[in-house]
Each structure stands twice: as C-alpha cells, then as structure tokens.
Amino acid sequence: MIPAASGNPRCIMHLDMDAFYAAVEILDHPQWQGLPVIVAGLGPRGVVTTASYPARKFGVRSAIPTASARRLCPDGIYVQPRMARYAELSQAVMARIGQFSDQIETLSLDEAFVDLGPSLRLFGSGRQIATRLQQEILVHVGLSASIGIAPNKLIAKLASEAAKPGGIREIAEHEMRAFLDPLPLRAIWGVGEKMDAQLQALGLRSVTQLLAYPESALRSALGSFADTLRQRCLGVDARGIESAREELSISAEETFDRDLKDLSTLHRELMALSERVAQRLRASGKRAGLVRVKIRLPNFSLLTRQAPLAPVSDVTQRIHNLAWQLLQRWWQQQDSPQVRLLGVGVAEFARADQAGPDQAGPAQTAPVQADLFQDTAPRRGLDQIADALNARFGAHALRHARALRRAPDVPKS
C-alpha cells in the first residue's frame, strides 16, 4: 500500500452487506433460507428494493417494478420493507467496524468505507482485519458482508463488488492495472446507462479500450468528463474518508395503487409514514427540528410543504400532527385534489442526548399551529416499547390505530 499524508499506509476497505434488506428478512424468518425473497413495495406501482440471491437467478433486481418481479418470479416471497429493523442491524454492523477503526464513512445502511491505515500496526494486515470483521458480523449480527481492500476508495469499491457474495478481495497497488483493464466501462463510477450507450457507440466497452482511445477524440465526444473518466480508468482517486458524514434527512413515502381523493384515507397513510420515519429517527439516536410533507400529483408534478418542529422531537405523534397540519392546509387550498404519492420526512437533527426539552427548531418556513403536546415523555416511552416489539415480532406487530383504520379529520390530543 502507498503511504498516506499522515504517514500511515494507504489502506482503504469498502464493506458492502450482501442483499442486506432481504438478508435481514431471512435472518428473522429462517424458514426462508435458500428461497427467493424480494423486499419491495407491494402495490401495483411498487418497486423492488432488494432481492435475495436465489431471487436474482430469476432476473429480479432492485429498482424494477414489483409487477415485473412477480412475472419473473411468481413464487417468490414478497415482503414490505421494515426500515426500523434494518437501521437497528446497520447500527450493530457499524459498531463492529468501529472496533477496528474510527475512520468510517457511512454511505448507507449497508455500505461503508473504512480507513485501515492507522489500524494495521494494531490488528495486522488489511486482509487479516477484513477476515476478523467479516467473522464478527456473521457471528454477532448473523449477516454476510463482502469486503474490498485497496489503496483508494475507487478500487476498494470495485473490489468488494468482485468479492460478492461473502468474499474478500484485496488489490495491491501493483495489481491495479491487471484488475482494472478487463472491467466493462459500466463498472466505473459515473458511467450510467446513457453514458455506457454513448461509449459503446464509440466502440468502447472495456477500460483497456478507453485508455487506448485518442484523448482528443474522447474529449470531443464526452467534453470535460473525458478527463475524469480517464483518470478513474487509471485507478486514480485521491478522496479521503469523510468520517463526519451524517444522514441529513430521514423520509418515507408511498406510491398508491390508485390516486387518492379522500382526505381521511390520506390521514391514515400519513400516520403509517410518520411511524416509519419516527422509528428510523429513534434508531439513529436523533431528534428532528423540521417536518416535511411530499406530495406527487396524478400529472407527476411534485410539491413539498415543511415547518419547524419545536422543541425538537422523535415522538411519532408529534411528527404526525405537524405533517397532518401541513397536508390539511394544502388540501383545503385545492379544487378536487388527488394524490398519487405521499411522503413524510424529517431534518434539522439534534442528538437525543444533547437536545434539551425546550430546545427550539429552525426558523419557521410555514406558519402552523403550535404543537399542543407539552408532556411527551409517556408517548416517547410508548414509542420505544413499540420499537422493541416491532423489531422482535415484525414491523406491524404494534401500530397506531390511526394507521389501521379510517381516522377522523382532526387528530386528537
């Protein structure tokens, strides 16, 4: 490995949990082991979030419509995402990583970069650390991870992809060219479907072909991105680990089987979304100072409404009440409104152990009625009990009644 600026060798690990959401469902339902499990929105407009490896043999992939997945794999096990449970196990995984390094850049619930340079003297080589970490996660969390190790983030991520599922791939500096050259250009960060088609039109399909292509001709075809792409194909990546990276917002949304025209039905859906968001918020150890409602209309136009939540909170009912005020106000201003998609989000975080009971949220972005919940401790306790039961027995083991049946137009205090 090459030396880093700090004097430690440059040793970057990329950890990627294998089919994470589906793997969690199988962990909680051992009878599904070896079966095609698909985590997805279950309505006609739903999309696949994650598919287990047996499901992928049928052609099921993330981001395809659930309806398409059902045609490809009609006998699969289809389950709704349980974000609170995934966040809980993600925290357990990240805690295991933290035993080996404090330089961790979390990319998502199931993916992280880690700088192992300062850890090599304590724990051995990069491969030794990766082997121990992989075993720790398997034994203590019950899940499989794929790990890539390389001199930089670009190669480490490509290496973890090559290691899937459940493997470890280490690429030393002198091995980088042999590893990169045969890769398809679609594997390189920044080459999406459209860019790949543009490159194929030039006769370029692999890294080797692109590096042999005249630089001036590549610039004429791709503009300024040509130099960036060439550097990536050479394996050049000077990015460091952004260990302070934090999630800036938490949200949940639902696309409905049919456009909703009834406010009481939207009220019920809003409570279900507020539950999902608040569970994830509590799992992250934060409280929110802003609530946002997202609305997509039948013509696909998108709008948002937001307001401060003061004092900051992680209580489901308070998040729901403010979101409900925002939705009601928008609804009353429309003629014959219809909703294709509804979402709830929170932002402007404070850590739960640092947020005092009277801490105010951000400057108000929309006038709303003051929140009437002065004593939130009992409700927070009930929320925490619900989180524990839902984590153990499934996402819908304990729900707010308002999320299960038609609700009155005005939320009760």
Active-site amino acid positions: 111
Asked if residue 282 lies in contact with residue 314, where contact means CB atoms within 8 angstroms, the answer is yes
Helix 83-97 and helix 20-28, axial crossing angle in degrees, nearest 10:
100
Strands 168-170, 145-150: pairing is: parallel
* Strand arrangement of the beta sheet that strand 37-40 belongs to: 48-51, 37-40, 77-79
Q: How far apart are alpha carbons 209 and 201 in whole angstroms? A: 13
Kindly write down the DSSP assignment for every residue of 73-123, as one continuous string. Answer: -TTSEEE---HHHHHHHHHHHHHHHTTT-S-EEEEETTEEEEE-GGGHHHH
Asked if residue 19 lies in contact with residue 165, where contact means CB atoms within 8 angstroms, the answer is yes
Asked if residue 141 lies in contact with residue 135, where contact means CB atoms within 8 angstroms, the answer is no
Q: How far apart are alpha carbons 71 and 75 in whole angstroms? A: 9
> What are the structure tokens assigned to 130, written together?
């990766």
Helix or strand run (H / E) with residue 153: helix 153-163
The one-character DSSP state at 68 is H
> What are the structure tokens assigned to 296, written together?
């997509």
- Which of 104, 118, 169 is CA-nearest to residue 4? 118
CA 143 to chain centre: 17
Kindly write down the DSSP assignment for every residue of 290-325, as one continuous string. Answer: EEEEEEE-TT--EEEEEEEEEEEE--HHHHHHHHHH
Asked if residue 18 lies in contact with residue 2, where contact means CB atoms within 8 angstroms, the answer is no
Task: Find residue 252's DSSP bridge partners.
Answer: 344
Token pair 């859906």 is at which residue?
269
